[in-house]
Amino acid sequence: MAEGKLNITPKKYLKENKYFCFLCGINLPDAKRRARINSSVAKLLSDILECELDTIDVTGYLCNDDCYKNTNRFAALRTSLAYLSATLKDRQSHAHACKTSVRFKRGVPSDVKETSQPAQRRKSLNSVF
């Protein structure tokens, strides 16, 4: 059994195999096309993928072309969503705090009678028959 382990050659990692995108898996030999996954990006990725932070390799890379930009876009949209949610909740609490109603009464002058003319015609036609 010891001889079987000695006959196995260890896997050799080439430089090209070391640099690949964590999300899409493309090869990233050019340093300008990749971004290292740091702790803040790893936290964003754990939120996006809905997985634990331990499952994300912080020594890995993301491609600058698509994955890293989309991760940053997600962070910006999440911040905007939190701001809009807080704004709408504030407006709603302010609207309920006001004692005046949101709906206004119809702008009918007070000197106009409540009876309408078509109803009076119907009465006159019914009295004729």
Average pLDDT of the chain, as a whole number: 76
- The answer to whether 121 and 128 have CB atoms below 8 angstroms apart is no
In a domain, 19, yes or no: no
In a domain, 2, yes or no: no
- At 42 the three-state DSSP class reads helix
**Whole-number pLDDT of residue 48:** 87
**Whole-number pLDDT of residue 88:** 92
In a domain, 10, yes or no: no
In a domain, 106, yes or no: no
pTM exceeding 0.85: no
- At 102 the three-state DSSP class reads coil
Which has the higher per-residue pLDDT, 16 or 63? 63
CA dist., res. 57 & res. 120, Å (int): 84
What is the span of the domain harbouring residue 73? 31-98
Report in angstroms the alpha-carbon separations of 117 from 22, 107, 121.
77, 20, 7
**Whole-number pLDDT of residue 125:** 57
In a domain, 39, yes or no: yes
Query: What does the pLDDT look like over 19-61, one tens digit per residue?
Result: 888 888 888 888 888 889 988 889 888 888 888 888 888 888 9
How many structural domains are present in the chain? 1
